[in-house]
Amino acid sequence: MRNAGPIESPTDPFASVPLPSSSVSKKPRIEGLPPGVSRDIFGPPDRQEPRPAQGPSAPGGPSGSALPPVAPPAQPWPMKDKEPSVPMFGATGPSDPPSFGDTEPHRRSRLLPGLALFVVVLAALAYVVPAVLMSGSVLRGTRVAGVDIGGLTVTQAAEKLRAELGTKLSRPVVVDIGAQKDTVQPDEAGLELDVVGTIGQAPSGFPSPREVWQGLTGTTELQPKVTLDSSQLARTVEGLAESVDKPAVEGRVTFSGLRPKAREPADGVLLDRDDAVQRISDAFLRGGGTVVLALRPAEPVTTAEAVQDALTKARRAVASPITLTSGDKQAQISPAMIAANLAYVPDTDGKLVPEFDAKAVLAGVESKLVDAAQQPRDATYQIVNDKPILVPSRTGRGVNEKLLVADLEKVFDEGGSRTVPVRLGVVAPTVTTKQVQGLGIKEKVGSFTTSFDCCQPRVKNIQRMAQQLDGYVVKPGETFSINEVVGERTVEDGYVEAGQIVGGRMVNIVGGGVSQFATTMYNAAFFGGFEDVEHQPMDYYAQRYPAGRDVALLYPDTDLKWRNDSDFGVLIKTAFTDTSVSVTLWSTKRYDNVEAVESERRNFTPFRQEVSSAPDCLPTVGERGFTIDVTRVFHKDGKVVKKDKKLTTKYRPQAQITCAGTGQ
């Protein structure tokens, strides 16, 4: 065509396809298809056959056709009754297709695992929830001797047990000792409820399933644990023994004036201490009751015949004076002086032999035999203007004391001439200047004073011990012991019977009351900075002593020992009045100040009240028990240079004893 322009590419790819004409209308029908597209491209409505591919290379196809090749028709899924089954996923045999009609077994198979999981979760919750609620406390339903502590924290359970169970365990033990009965209280045996051990038996923490079940459905019964202080009980038994012991009486001959006085030997009985401790312990652990304590016999070694023989010798010994001679000098020992210093005492074989104190006799007569200027003198110190002044020792001449004793005792035992020549010799002082010189004894390093009521028998014992220890020198590195230096307190040494607490009981013993002197010395050594080696606090607190710094003293086992751990000597000086005793230690100061740091008093325990009708009853004032800590702190150059380990003292409550019929 002449007027035709260049043919442009249509926007619609089907625009180039000629549209078929309708016999009714010349216009093309558009039924939802793009313009120029007929339904016939999909084939007849009942069946669409695949068309041969159209394209430039296809046979019979119009050249330059742009239609894509027709896709092959879809194949239907083979059915069981029409097509053989095709094995799938490597199956070797025919497989049935799933049946959509059998739904109940499938629903049941899915429901059962769900139910099982629900039961497991429910069971877990039934354990975990109460377990969490119970954790951190004592298992519910736990009881100790009827006291319910279930569901409480450990601290709450401990407080409840102390408050409610402590009183239940306070049942005393009655001891039957021969014809005498006594009562031992729990505090006297050191009996205590072991709260920690008792609660430790109870399940706590995060409970196991079995414990949860037990806590929800039942109870757990526990027995309380109690402890006994064996050392405290031993002291209590010692106090019981002091009241029942009757040691064997040994024969002895002494003098009352010039008249010989015989003491006949006699059997005795002693409390079996070890057996008593065991029996009382067992009784307390059983919950109280009555126990019978065993007494064992004590037999003397002397005989009545030995006493009669000694009586005959004693009468002869004081029949006339003894004359001592030294050259042209002489001195007489009167019968009264002989009687005052002579006794017949048992030896290891059970015989009675003479024992004579020649030193006491020579103190009065030696000056008649030897000039006083020639006599020896021990080195000592005198305090002048509050300073220790050394008085040097001196070697001299004197009567040989050991030889004189041997000669006189032979006369008193066998008889013979009553004129006895003495032998003089060089006598060295007991304490030499060298021993105490250069020890740095120059200043006061520690001092302490305690008070007491006047004119009691115990005052004589305190003063006598002070006399014996006045002027004693403790060398560097030496350990001082009261029992070793003083020895047993006896009537012969000037001690008297007085009341003293032994094992929680007030008893009368020779030397009673000397614990006050030991307390005074302990505090002087404490503030002097010397090492504490051995001491035992008193059982009960007495207001006249500093709390936590008192000392019990009883021969031979209960002692006070302290060590001079300095490079200097220590001089012990004592002083006393009718109402006080003082101990002062002189040496060289090592510290500017020694301080006693006390804690608050705690754990108070009430005292009980008793009425006693015993003939030897001694009344006591009730005193609460408590616990206190004391720490010794050493200061030098304005700073703390040392601290001792904390010392904890636990005082027992002292019963208030009223003696029936005395109004006390």
What are the φ and ψ backbone dihedral angles of 293, each rounded to 5 degrees? -95, 145
For residue 232, pLDDT over 70 is answered with: yes
Give the residue extent of every domain in the chain. Answer: 304-435, 438-659
* pLDDT score of 615: 72
Strand order in the sheet with 561-563: 479-481, 561-563, 531-534
Question: Per the confidence metrics, is the pTM higher than 0.75?
Answer: no
Give the H or E element holding residue 132.
helix 104-134
Write the pLDDT tens digit of every residue in 416-475.
999 999 988 888 887 888 888 889 999 999 999 999 998 899 999 999 999 999 999 999
What integer is the mean pLDDT of 163-190? 80
Written as one string, the DSSP assignment of 430-489 is: SS-HHHHTTS---EEEEEEEEE--TT-HHHHHHHHHHHHHTT-EEPTTPEEEHHHHH-S-
As a whole-number percent, the residues of the chain with pLDDT over 70 amount to 75
- Alpha carbon separation from 513 to 277, 286, 461, 551 (Å, rounded): 26, 37, 7, 11
* Contact present, 518 and 560 (Cβ < 8 Å): yes
- Distance between CA atoms of 345 and 129, rounded to whole angstroms? 85
- Distance between CA atoms of 542 and 548, rounded to whole angstroms? 10
Write the pLDDT tens digit of every residue in 123-151.
665 555 555 555 556 767 777 877 887 77
* Contact present, 10 and 35 (Cβ < 8 Å): no
Coil, strand, or helix at residue 5? coil
Q: Residue 149 corresponds to which tokens in the numbers above?
A: 């502590």
The CA-to-CA distance between both ends of the chain, in Å, stands at 160
Topology of the domain covering 304-435: Ubiquitin-like (UB roll) (3.10.20)
Q: What is the mean pLDDT of the chain?
A: 80
- Distance between CA atoms of 476 and 591, rounded to whole angstroms? 17
- Distance between CA atoms of 306 and 250, rounded to whole angstroms? 11
For residue 578, pLDDT over 90 is answered with: yes
Strand order in the sheet with 259-263: 259-263, 252-256, 342-346, 352-356
* pLDDT score of 579: 94
Amino acid in the structure at residue 548: G
What integer is the mean pLDDT of 260-273? 92
What integer is the mean pLDDT of 549-557? 92
* pLDDT score of 398: 86
* pLDDT score of 225: 78
- Distance between CA atoms of 283 and 356, rounded to whole angstroms? 51
* pLDDT score of 324: 95
Write the pLDDT tens digit of every residue in 292-340.
999 999 999 999 999 999 999 999 999 999 999 998 889 999 999 999 9
Write the pLDDT tens digit of every residue in 378-398.
888 888 888 899 889 988 888
DSSP β-bridge partners for residue 573: 584
Is the model more confident about 94 or about 599?
Answer: 599
pLDDT band at 24, cuts 50/70/90? very low
**Which of these ranges, 199-203, 337-341, 646-650, has the smallest mean pLDDT?**
199-203
For residue 22, pLDDT over 50 is answered with: no
Q: Residue 258 corresponds to which tokens in the numbers above?
A: 């010039």
